[in-house]
Chains A and B, each alone.
Chain A
Amino acid sequence: MTALTQAMKQTRRHFLQSAASSLVLPVLIDGYGAKAFARPSSFIQSLLGLADQNDRVLVIIQLQGGNDGLNTVIPLDQMGVYTSPGFRGNIAISEAKALKLKNYAGTGLHPAMTGMQQLFNDGKLSIVQGVSYPTPNFSHFRASDIWMTAVDADKTSASGWTGRYLDKRFPGYPNSYPTGKMPDPPALQIGYVTSTALLGPTDAMTIVLQNPDTFARLVGETPKDPLSTIPGYAGRQIEYIRQQQASSVRYAGQIKTAAGLGMNRAKYPDKNALGDQLKIIARLISGGLQTKVYYLTMGGFDNHANQVVATDTSTGTHANLLKILSDAVLAFQNDLTQLKVDDRVVGMTFSEFGRRAISNGSLGTDHGTSAPMFVFGNAIKSPLVGRNPNLSDLNNNNLKMQTDFRQVYAAILTDWLQTDADTETATLFKDFPVAPVFRQTVTALEPVVSDARLYPNPASAGVVLESEWLRQGVKSVQVTDLQGRFLSVQTSRPTPTTLQFTVANLPAGSYVLRVETAPGMLTKRMVVVH
């Protein structure tokens, strides 16, 4: 593609995106920042599909072990509960030490996360609060599998969400690849064992570089830690096999070429293994590798004991981990900016679960449920999705969920990778409302559509939305509470012009129903009483 046509496509894409945005109706929300937008209509989606979008990249950082969300993102609006002795007084971060966030006085970051504070204040980091899924699992392995395969807690799948997405995007991989259009691996993981998230329906959709040393050997640089050598005959054979293995990494030539063309401009922190890996990724992206997904893993978050130092809770194991993460991500983002590829890259972190709201007696925390996710990059539109977890409203000492993790995946797939709705649904096994990470926060009331009726209202068990527009089919359904949290409700279609919601499980309160149909958006306020 010539530079000119590339530029034309860019322009076309930007036009289409802003066109899509302008069609979206703002929705009622209070001042907390979590906002819902309609998914662009299929018409707009098909227009978007015309533009060549193969330059967008996703970087996934898995935080293994269950990151303690409550000591990562600090609920400055509830410090009384948070620091109380019966809650997590032994490990709480003090208000004085917590890092402040621009425009969001009620929320802070762990003091080790100066890098991510800077990104947040620059509008390049989104914190999605309270992410989990219904009936959360407390097993590391099972919970990781749920997150990576994107299934309901009572379902299993042998393929991962990213793998399914890539399989749809690059059908026939690996047998029919490389192609002229896709000469590079769909995904590149740095790690020892292929992540479940990257398993496609039949094949792993990734190539795996074991560690930065493997990369170094591959591109002809000196590895930092040469493998321990085995003496004698066996050593000779093993050395030979290892050498063959390094040179036979699939796509070795492509990776070498990209590494040769690419570079790093920013300074990365020393002794930061995550930074070392992100540095490779920045180099490969800047070198033109067309890989869509990069996957990294950082371990060590399972801190049942001594996650803080008793004398200074802002230090200790957890602080060290967060510093590594935050410093590495900042350096990476700076590098992308200086390399002028920052518009093409978005990163996200996830962990299999958060930790118990109430700390244990060993200066640690046990397995919990919901926790914040981070999404970073220039494309961020909502710095904060959702609100601080309500520390006075726990479920068995666990934080309640606000956003299903698959809503964040839906945001990545739809708004970032710009998959069509069918692919997104197939990838996530069902349709999820999109978390507004990449959509502008608005606070205005949406004009109420007059030809729709909602009854009974207030409701306690079921409520029916009636509109002629429903005849042409329902594209998406969203129910949010006044904090902007998405809620999952069951729906049915008793007649062609009605949509029935089961609200018996919703807590009493006010909600907004938003139903997208072909003619337009139906939006109604609903009150639930019990």
Chain B
Amino acid sequence: MALLDAYLKPLTADQVTFLLRRATFGPTAGQVREFTGQTASDILKKMLADQPAPNPPLDSATGKSFHDQPFDVVNAGKFTGYIKNWWANLMLNQPVSLLEKMTLFWSNHFVVTDVAVNDYRYVYQYNALLRHHALRNFKAFTIAITQDPAMLRFLNGNQNVAGTANENYARELQELFTIGRNGGYTEDDVRAAAKVLTGWTDTGYRSPASAAIGSTFRANRHDTSDKTFSPAYQNAVVKGRSGANAGIDELNDLLTIILRQAETPRYICRKLYRWFVNSDIPAEVETNFIQPLADLFQKGNFEIKPVLTALFQSQHFYDESLRGAVIKSPVDLVVGTFRFWGLQAPDAVANPTAFYQIGNYIYGRVKEQQQDLLNPPTVFGWTAYHQTGYYQQWINSTTLGLRGSFGDMVTTGALKLNGKPAVDVLAYVKNLSDPSDPARLVDELTGQLLAILPTQPQKDFLTDTILLGSIPRYEWTLEWNDYVRSPNVAAKKQAVQMKLTAFLQYIFRMAEFQVM
């Protein structure tokens, strides 16, 4: 089997669930039903369809946008929080689309941290840039991010001038953003690239007087000499230029050189693979999946959509041995759980309080579970995608406790978001095909919630021991029907609700629930 060949069969419900868990922040049961029976190719067309740019975050006190105003030092912390909460809500409310998960991918790739940048307007513009380019062209994206004011500050591109080069960005551009540390480039190449990149600076940083922020090329600070690269880059030369267009023209040349190396598209494709598919890349996958995908990327002039299409409709992606290979990131866990239960953030203009309550709750959970949005721990991104152990980096005794208490919190109904319980267990169970049959209830619930389907003995255990506490199954039927007949009798409601809550809390704490 050629791993990258398209999987042409209509997808089963399990396959749809798998696809949506990996490629988005997870489906609702209704979305799984909607897409079951469609081919991966059909579903991907929807997932890659253009989305309108989201409305910017608003100050809930004034109802006005703040990213396009002069810097407000007093409210800077609050506005930074708004941006993170707003982004969390974009993930939550995202229709079936790859856009926000790719935006998050790029924030883990072209890393900038809000703490280092320290101007919320820069952070917003950076995040908007990631979203704008997330599904477009990688070369144009890299050119844009190089000039992004947040990136210029974060990796000191704004201090890189002729005569006293700052090599920071030139190094990371190669080591992390394009060709990767195994690309064979040398220290001389870092120095040469730094010269190419001289002259750029950001404008309007933390300015209380000016709303305008951006970047500019200062021709007089640009190194106009010819830049000669090592044999790793075929001794290529970027011809020295002067004048207003020197910076962009030389940047374009530099990226042309880097992107034509065979390793560059492979490096990006491996990162996508580790983000979406599996951390382990055995030789067979490297040869028969990464390489052809990289070829496709390069031949397609680094357009991103064809790569994602090929990846998510490949036969390899639907290989069952990959089910459960990825440990859910905190965002996958928290946003995915809420999406599954149908929680949506309300309109930010009509109900700013509830909008930020929800965004803030999500953001608080993912932050405490070690995935602070817009603030990865290092320029390498979150350790779960590059360090030995990979996804297991998300798991330790503290984060397991926090994951568990998150599950406890949302299932008791005590957590009210926008005035309603975040998870309405009874409403959900009522919509299952036959909630009066405990075995079917468990079968369906675990089928929807767990990536690794339990074996029959496990299902029996979940039914008889966890849900029913060793009471015979027909007793559940009686209790459930009793409740359905008198849904407003508190005692009857509580009888089934407490069982279901305890059951869900158990499921949420299962190791199997942590993988996808």
Contacts and interface: CB of A to CB of B under 8 A. Distances in A.
Partners in one complex: yes
Interface of A: 64-65, 137, 139-142, 144-145, 153-154, 156, 158, 192-194, 196, 204, 228, 230, 232-234, 237-242, 244-245, 247-248, 250, 297, 299-300, 302, 304
Interface of B: 278, 280, 321-327, 391-392, 395-398, 400-401, 408, 412, 451-452, 455, 458, 465-466, 469-472, 475, 478-479, 482, 490-492, 494-496, 498-499, 502-503, 505-506, 509, 511-512, 514-515
Given A193-B469, A241-B395, A302-B471, A142 B324 contact: no
Given A145-B495, A238-B511, A233 B280 contact: yes
26 contacts: A64-B469, A139-B495, A140-B475, A141-B479, A142-B495, A145-B495, A154-B491, A156-B494, A158-B412, A193-B466, A193-B469, A193-B503, A228-B455, A232-B325, A233-B324, A234-B325, A234-B451, A237-B325, A237-B326, A237-B515, A241-B327, A241-B514, A241-B515, A245-B509, A297-B469, A300-B470
A295 to B, nearest CB: 13
A300 B392 CA distance: 39
B324 A241 contact: no
A238 B401 contact: no
Nearest to A137: B491
B327 A302 contact: no
The residue in A65, A156, A233, A300 that gathers the most chain B C-beta atoms within 10 A of its C-beta is A233
A142 to B, nearest CB: 4
Contacts of A158: 412
Contacts of B503: 193
Given A145-B495, A192-B466, A234 B323 contact: yes
Nearest to B325: A233
Contacts of A196: 498, 502
Contacts of A247: 397
The 8 closest A-B pairs by CB, nearest first: A299-B470, A234-B324, A248-B397, A141-B495, A233-B325, A241-B511, A142-B495, A193-B502
B500 to A, nearest CB: 10
B220 to A, nearest CB: 55
A247 B499 CA distance: 27
Given A139-B479, A139-B495, A142-B491, A233 B278 contact: yes
The residue in A237, A241, A247 that gathers the most chain B C-beta atoms within 10 A of its C-beta is A237
A141 B498 contact: yes
A244 B452 contact: no
B471 A140 contact: yes
Contacts of A240: 392, 395
A144 B505 CA distance: 19
Contacts of A244: 395-397, 400
Contacts of A228: 455, 458
A166 B496 CA distance: 26
Given A192-B506, A242-B511, A245-B511, A237 B392 contact: yes
Contact of A238 (B278, B324, B472): B324
Contacts of B323: 234
A271 to B, nearest CB: 17
Contacts of A153: 491
B471 A64 contact: yes
B515 A238 contact: yes
Nearest to B391: A237
A248 B479 contact: no
The residue in B395, B492, B505 that gathers the most chain A C-beta atoms within 10 A of its C-beta is B395
Contacts of B391: 237
A158 B421 CA distance: 15
Given A139-B482, A142-B495, A247-B397, A238 B512 contact: yes
B218 to A, nearest CB: 50
B455 A142 contact: no
Given A192-B465, A248-B397, A248-B401, A142 B494 contact: yes
A170 to B, nearest CB: 18
A158 B493 CA distance: 12
Given A228-B455, A238-B324, A241-B395, 15 more contacts: A139-B495, A142-B479, A142-B495, A194-B502, A230-B324, A233-B324, A234-B325, A238-B512, A240-B392, A241-B511, A245-B400, A248-B397, A250-B401, A297-B469, A299-B470
A318 B455 CA distance: 30
Nearest to B514: A241
B117 to A, nearest CB: 34
Contact of A156 (B395, B490, B499): B490
A139 B396 CA distance: 41
Contacts of B506: 192-193
B453 to A, nearest CB: 11
B151 to A, nearest CB: 34
A238 B495 contact: no
Contact of A248 (B400, B408, B471, B490): B400
B473 to A, nearest CB: 11
A126 to B, nearest CB: 26
The residue in B324, B401, B451, B458 that gathers the most chain A C-beta atoms within 10 A of its C-beta is B324
The residue in B280, B325, B451, B515 that gathers the most chain A C-beta atoms within 10 A of its C-beta is B515
Nearest to B279: A233
A237 B327 contact: yes
A68 to B, nearest CB: 15
Contacts of A297: 469
Nearest to B464: A299
Contacts of B505: 193-194
B511 A140 contact: no
Given A142-B492, A156-B494, A244-B397, A230 B452 contact: yes
Nearest to B474: A304
A365 to B, nearest CB: 13
Contact of B321 (A137, A232, A239, A300): A232
The residue in A137, A156, A234, A238 that gathers the most chain B C-beta atoms within 10 A of its C-beta is A234
Contact of A299 (B412, B469, B515): B469
B479 A65 contact: no
Contacts of B482: 139
Given A142-B491, A232-B321, A302 B466 contact: no
Contacts of B326: 237
A490 B324 CA distance: 61
B475 A302 contact: yes
A228 B475 CA distance: 29
A158 to B, nearest CB: 8
Contacts of A242: 511
Nearest to B465: A192
